[in-house]
Structure 1
């Protein structure tokens, strides 16, 4: 009989599971990746996988939660290095341009997940909405600190840049959105 799993091992397994699933879902799409593929890529037995998550829908939701923390944290770290409040808002779009130019960029994971599962999965829809709300709140803080009230247009320009960059395969939409945001900020 195998030794019982320690809390550390359970946490390591969960982290491996989420990292593997995130990579596979982002690279190939959620529908194209079954639990057997996640099992094979992670090397975890199905029993351990199902100890962490009850099924694929819960795995997708957990992946999106994990990615949200990292994505918004990375964005905040980059933006908050900039001292000037107006330039901080523009730094969001500089960060997006770098992300769009990364090898393997396939668009916004939350928009992709919503497109695949949003109509049929309340859990996924809730994670997508939570992420978009949290991102809008981040932007709200930076835009208001810059003395502007144009939060919604800035949010829509960021979201539109993400979609357009994924479709075109170019980081150029971030630059174009940045220029539009600069005009909005100058208007107050």
Structure 2
């Protein structure tokens, strides 16, 4: 088994992509509100490597507001079919505008239009209001490319700690943890 946490992540992620029926790239993202209240939701991993784990969202959403105040997060991948999970913790930084533009351009047109139409995380009086906004945006950009909204972009979680958990019989699970040091990673085991 690899002793580099990114190589191990790649191995497990490749297996999850083959075995999970839906959204093998789904991860729980935990942030903290200014009052200390934790908040968690599912987002999709859209890039990863030694520099971190990337997701995209509306910069005016609740999660983005929480990250602006406390730029740290925790991620959790849970692949039930493999009986594995990975926990990641670390600081969060915005990705470059060029990186956000490139990913936005790769999205379906409907998803691009939805990014313009949605006031993510804000109260919505009824579904018809959102659908009308979507139709207005669709008409606005008809016949042309849909640019990335200025309030929409990506975030990168740079891991300081990565834990790999494997289910074992009788709850005798295996937990392998990597902690970033100044020169690399310390590796150890945790009790189940």
TM-score, normalising length: structure 2: 0.31
Which is helix-richer, 1 or 2? 1
